Amino acid sequence: MLEIKEINKNYGDKEVLKELSLKLNENEIYGLIGQNGAGKSTLMNILGTLVNPESGDIVLNKKSYLSQKKEYKKHIGIIPQEIALFNKLSIMDNLLYWGGISGIKRKDIYKSSYNFLKLYGLYNRRNEKVQTLSGGMKRYVSIIATMIQKPKILLLDEPTVGIDPTQRKKILDAIHKLKDKGCSIIFSTHYLEEAEKICDRIGIIIDGNIKIEGTSEEIKSKYGKGEKIIITTSDPVEDLDFENSQISVERNQISFLSNDLNTRLMSAINLIQEKGLNIIKIEIIPSSLEWIFLNRIENNKML
Amino acid sequence: MLHIIIKDLKLFINDKKGLFMYLLLPIALITIFVLAYSNMGGSYDPIKLVIVDEDKSYESTSLIMKIDSLSSLDLIKTSRDSAEMLVRSGKISAALYINNNLLDSILNGKTAFELLYDESNEFECGIIKQIITPKIHRFAAKCKIKKQLSDSFFADKSTIHEMVGKGVDNQVQSSQIGLTNIITYQGISGGNMLGQVGLVQGIAGTAVLMLLFGVRSIGSQIIEEKEDNTFRRTIFSTLSPDIYLLGKLSSSLLVALAQISVMFIFSAIVFNFDLFYNFPALILVTFFTAFSCASFSILIGVLVSSRNQLQSISTIVILTMSAIGGSMVPFFIMPAIMKKMAVASINYWSIQGYYDIYLRNYSVIEIMPRIYIMALISIMCLTLSWVFFKKRYLKLLTY
């Protein structure tokens, strides 16, 4: 449906995106993960036609966006990271503005707004000013403001930043409902458990390119075989050198990833006991994307 | 308590923008008002007075020489028609006509002089009247005394001249009785607005000043939308940046037109300000005043980079423009240097436009030069806005 072909983008001397390619299938949620400065937002800006790439192309339904930018924009909706709404206007006035500037007819805006407002439980508050809403509710309005434009492709740029866990869950559910309504979604996030939960495929941007791509399971089986082991000790742990592998030590908690549970766990227990520490608890958790990201990607162990 | 004082002063000093406003604004305003109300900004230029000598006699020539010797007046000799045109156009404040048969008119107590003056330039006209009226009365009295002496003594005129020069001055004062009719004053201004310079000045001056402050809020929305990211989101839509800027200009213009309409309607109800005196001209001047203020607000909105900056810079620029442009200090009492500076403000062209309608009785065609200049100011503001908007466009959109 949407194909990004070998895009390059520089800011001054800095190469932000290097020959980045990506393919978004129809009715798919694609998670975009990367460290700060990896190039996620630049890619989102390029997809939103705010920034032009140095080279490369974006192809939507087999047509280059360069030749049909205005037409392309009609199919793209973006839900920005910031809650970009007019706080002093009512929810409905905001929706009329955002729909209006996208060329949607007034009666159509009302119709689809009412549907979405009912879906997110905001219908009765439609005439209230946005500034009176909670952060989560504002995020819903932001989503509705984009959804009333009926985009085929949705770009979500870290939509759950600064939202409490309860609201985050609701927003993720809301995003999933958008997929059910026929949208293809590119979902950029810092929260890896979110990506794991709702994305059909995940791409991890490293140094301006997607180095890892696949379903959550594919990535985990390739890069994160094994389990995450968390050992809690009676006293804080200091200087633990454990078979040259990356471990995370936080006060009296030691955690590491293991492909060979029995051997590694036994070695760890022996090492801890040699240090004269008592083990209080051992947890064995199947590996997650977050673990892979933190322990492999951020430490360049994968490359 | 000392800690509180020190902390408060530190906070005050650290607020650079606040400090800037605290110090610079009063300094700017003091400078402008001192320049306006005193001669510190340079002396007043001699006031131009048009003289039309239709008598061309020995007496009229000698009077013109006496008036010409005054350093406060700069005489321009011309014909009656062109003199009237100069005053009507507002280029010259007053014209003095010396009628035919000057001496006979003086001796018979008939009108010998006519002073045609531009009512919209009340200040200069007042000065001219104060300077030339006593001169004319003195001259007329001397003429009368000469005639009386001549008749009484049948002496030759050269001897009489000498006598008059040495000893008759003291009698002049008493001889002025009966000379009050020899000079007439005719103000050129809109018929029923005669003598309402204050009203026109008050309404037009305040209207433009408040308009500039009023439309500032639309300019500030550009910054607000940049800061709260609604601008980015707007540009994400199919809307082009050109349309965005045009939309801002249109809303600013509508706000300006609404505000100025309310001010004028209020003035009409409360102060009997005649809105229909020359309605098409009023509409034209008002529209272009609003348009130039709206364009100015867009320029300010695009130029500044934060809300605080907008508050401080726009306040200084608007107050300065209003002070030099005639909103705070009437243009006609300004010294020469400030009159030259005034043309750099929107206020000046707008207020002069209203003067043209109400005090100079101009037709729509005659006010067009002012309209062209206001249109030019608007185009300049919009061109600059577009250039800066383009320049900062990518900057506003990238993270």
Instruction: Say what the pLDDT of residue B370 is.
Output: 92
**A85 touching chain B per CB within 8 A:** yes
Residue A105: is its pLDDT beyond 80? Answer: yes
Q: Which two tokens stand for residue A170?
A: 């609701």
A98–B235 CB contact, under 8 Å: no
Closest CA to B396 of B225, B247, B261, B271: B225
Domain that holds residue B337: 2-38+195-398
Residue B246 and residue B390 in one domain: yes
- Residue B45 has, within 13 A of its CA and on its CB side, a CA count of 12
Query: Considering B163, B188, B213, which residue would you say is the last residue of a domain?
Result: B188
Contact A50 B236 (CB under 8 A): yes
Whether B152 and B247 share a structural domain? no
Contacts of B399 in chain A (CB under 8 A): 41-42, 45
Give pLDDT < 70 ranges for chain B. Answer: 1-4, 7, 11-12, 15, 17-19, 21-23, 25-26, 28-45, 152-180, 189-196, 393-399
Better pLDDT: B171 or A169 = A169
ipTM: 0.74
Rounded distance between C-alpha atoms, residue B393 and residue B399, angstroms: 12
Whether A74 has its CB under 8 Å from any CB of chain B: the answer is yes
Instruction: Provide the shortest C-alpha distance from residue A102 to chain B (in Å).
Output: 6
For A161, list phi and psi in degrees, rounded to 5. -65, 130
| The two three-digit tokens of residue B256, written as one number | 């300006």
**Whether residues B289 and B378 fall in one domain:** yes
pLDDT confidence of residue B46: 78
The answer to whether residues B290 and B337 belong to one domain is yes
pLDDT, mean over chain A? 83
CA–CA gap between residue A280 and residue A230 (Å, rounded): 11
Interval A30-46 mean pLDDT: 86
- Percentage of residues in chain A having pLDDT higher than 90: 21
| Closest residue on chain B to A47 (Cα) | B236
Neighbouring residues of A271: CB distance < 8 A, sequence distance ≥ 6: A240, A242
Looking at residue B399, its pLDDT comes to: 39
In chain B, whose CA is at the least distance from the CA of A155? B236
CA dihedral B164, B168, B169, B171 (to 10 degrees): -150
Residue B380: the pLDDT is: 96
CA angle B230, B235, B239 (to 5 degrees): 120
Q: What is the pTM of this model?
A: 0.70
**Domain identity same for B30 and B93:** no
| Position A163 pLDDT exceeds 50 | yes
Cα gap B379→B373, rounded to integer Å: 10
Q: Which residues contact A286 (CB under 8 A, 6 or more apart)?
A: A227, A228
Nearest to B233 among A70, A84, A87 (CB): A84
B395 touches chain A (CB under 8 A): no
Select the residue of B237, B394, B399 nearest A101 (Cβ to Cβ): B237
Average pLDDT over residues A108-137: 91
Chain A residues within 8 A of B235 when measuring between CB atoms: 50
Any idea which of A83-92, A270-279, B11-20, B236-245 has the lowest mean pLDDT? B11-20
Q: Does A104 touch chain B (CB under 8 A)?
A: no
**pLDDT the model gives residue B32:** 66
In this structure, the answer to whether residues B64 and B160 fall within a common structural domain is: yes
The dihedral formed by the CA atoms of B178, B181, B185 and B186, expressed in degrees to the nearest 10 = 170
What pLDDT does A79 receive? 86
Task: Note whether B24 and B56 are same-domain residues.
Answer: no
> What is the model's pLDDT at position A303?
43
> Tell me, what's the pLDDT at B12?
67
Residue B169 and residue B253 in one domain: no
> What CA–CA distance (Å, rounded) separates A8 from A13?
13
Mean pLDDT of A263-273: 82
Q: What is each CA distance from B328 to B30, B202, B342, B349, in whole angstroms? A: 12, 9, 12, 14
Residue with tokens 């500044």: B304
Q: Examine the domain organization and report whether B343 and B232 are in the same domain.
A: yes
Taking the Cβ of residue A54 and every Cβ of chain B, the question of whether any pair is shorter than 8 Å is answered with no
Is B347 exposed, middle or buried, given 0-12, 13-18 or 19+ CB atoms closer than 10 A? buried
Number of domains chain B is built from:
2
d(CA B293, CA B208): 8
User: What is the predicted pLDDT for the residue at A24?
Assistant: 92
User: Which residues of A fall within a CB distance of 8 Å from B397?
Assistant: 45, 50-51
Inter-chain residue contact B237 with A80, CB threshold 8 Å: no
In chain B, which residue ranges form alpha helices assigned H by DSSP? Answer: 2-14, 16-37, 58-68, 80-88, 102-107, 122-153, 157-167, 169-175, 197-227, 230-236, 241-271, 279-303, 307-325, 336-342, 346-358, 364-397
Residue B95: name the closest of B54, B153, B43 by CA. B54
User: What gap in Å lies between CA B321 and CA B326, rounded to an integer?
Assistant: 8
Q: Which of A11, A48, A86 sits opposite B236 (nearest CB)?
A: A48
Using CA atoms, how far apart are residues A144 and B290, in angstroms rounded to an integer?
A: 37
Predicted local confidence at residue B374, as pLDDT: 96
SS3 B361: coil
Chain A residues lying within 8 Å of B230, measured CB to CB: 84-86
Per DSSP, the three-state class of A260 is coil
Phi, psi of A59 (to 5 degrees): -115, 120
pLDDT given at position B2: 64
CATH of the domain at B123: 3.40.1710
Whether residue B236 and residue A80 make contact (CB cut-off 8 A), yes or no, is yes
Report the distance separating Cα A274 and Cα B381, nearest Å. 78
Residues of chain B contacting A51 with CB distance shorter than 8 Å: 394, 397-398
Nearest CB neighbour to B238, from listed A51, A86, A103: A103
Best to test chain A binding among B220, B222, B238 (most A CBs inside 10 Å): B238
Indicate if B347 and B225 belong to the same structural domain.
yes
Here the tokens at position A90 are 């009512």
| Residue A294 pLDDT | 66
Q: Which of B188, B213, B247 delimits the end of a domain?
A: B188
Which member of A74, A80, A87 has the closest CB to residue B238? Answer: A74
User: How far is C-alpha B291 from the geometric centre of its chain's CA atoms?
Assistant: 20
Q: How far is CA A82 from CA A61, A86, A163, in A?
A: 29, 12, 11
Q: Are strands B94-98 and B47-53 parallel, antiparallel or unpaired?
A: parallel
Using a CB-CB cut-off of 8 Å, the residues of chain A touching B232 are 50, 80, 84
E strands, A25-132, in order = 29-34, 55-60, 63-64, 76-79
Residue A244: the pLDDT is: 55
Looking at the structure, tell me whether residues B255 and B359 fall in a common domain: yes
Helix or strand holding residue A171 (H, E): helix A165-180
The residues that bridge with A231 in the sheet, in sequence order, are A254, A282
Shortest distance between the Cα of A145 and any Cα of chain B, in A, equals 10
pLDDT in tens, B332-387: 777 777 888 889 999 999 999 998 888 778 889 989 999 999 999 999 999 999 98
DSSP string, B62-86: HHHHHHHT-TTEEEEE--HHHHHHH
Picking from B188, B207, B233, the residue at the C-terminal end of a domain is B188
Does residue B181 sit in the same domain as residue B206?
no
